[in-house]
A = this chain, B = another copy of it.
């Protein structure tokens, strides 16, 4: 898995909804807000199945209805296409999971 090239970044990253670069690290982050723990953990459970199938896992923090996610690719020492793909899948799942 290769790190994204400059042209890949220019093409792919602006299309992600609400994801921002992490300061001081080649990674992207997003905060998802749900109305309840049930919704937040339901989202996480769906993402967990997708992530395991992709063999690409998020770093994430949850408290009640909030889920803070960071994506980066350990093997690439930075962002790869897998992060872009997982970010898109997470947004799709959140849209169906009652994001506040």
List the interface of chain A (C-beta within 8 A of B). 37-38, 41, 44-45, 48, 51-52, 57-64
A59–B52 contact, CB under 8 A? Answer: no
Roughly how many angstroms separate A38 CA and B53 CA in the complex, as a whole number?
A: 11
Q: Which residues of B contact A63 (CB under 8 A)?
A: 57-60
**A59 vs B62: C-alpha distance when bound (angstroms):** 6
Nearest CB in chain B: distance from A9 CB, A? 23
Output the least CB separation between A80 and chain B (Å): 16
Q: Is the Cβ of A57 less than 8 Å from the Cβ of B45?
A: no
B52 and A37 form a contact (CB under 8 A): yes
**Known: A37-B51, A45-B45, A52-B37. Is A61-B64 also a contact (CB below 8 A)?**
no
Q: Can you sample 7 A-B contacts with CB below 8 Å?
A: A37-B57, A41-B48, A41-B52, A45-B45, A58-B63, A60-B63, A61-B61
Contacts of A57 in B (CB 8 A): 37, 63-64
